[in-house]
Amino acid sequence: MSSSEMMLSLNQRAFQLLQEDAVKIQKLIEVQMENLTTRKCPLYEEVLDTQMYGLSREVDFAIRAGLIDESAGKQLLSELERNLAQLYEAMDIRG
């Protein structure tokens, strides 16, 4: 395997791992959206915020290390942030 092939493989694996973490957060968001009939749960919000912060640090590291493209990392975070904002908006309406 050439060094360029190895780097491409490493880049793909880094982005795959970030996507897997993003999917976990998305599932947390979806579960909470499905349970909007329950009152706001500060602990759940804290978990989501902590997970988002952790993912943003992972993405930042991967970008700085040259493992992923900055635009791809920002897009990954942006999609989750939009979904999280929709959740918080729905919770405020119901709360």
Query: Where are the chain's structural domains?
Result: 3-94
pLDDT tens readout for residues 42-76: 777 888 899 999 999 999 999 999 999 999 999 99
Contact call for residues 66 and 7 (beta carbons, < 8 A)? no
Q: How far is CA 35 from the centre of its chain?
A: 20
Closest CA to 60 of 79, 75, 78, 74: 74
CA angle 27, 69, 72 (to 5 degrees): 35
Statement: residue 37 has pLDDT above 70: no
Q: In which residue are the tokens 């009939």 written?
A: 37
Given the candidates 3.30.70.260, 1.10.287.750, 3.40.120.10, 1.10.10.10, the CATH classification of the domain at 3-94 is 1.10.287.750
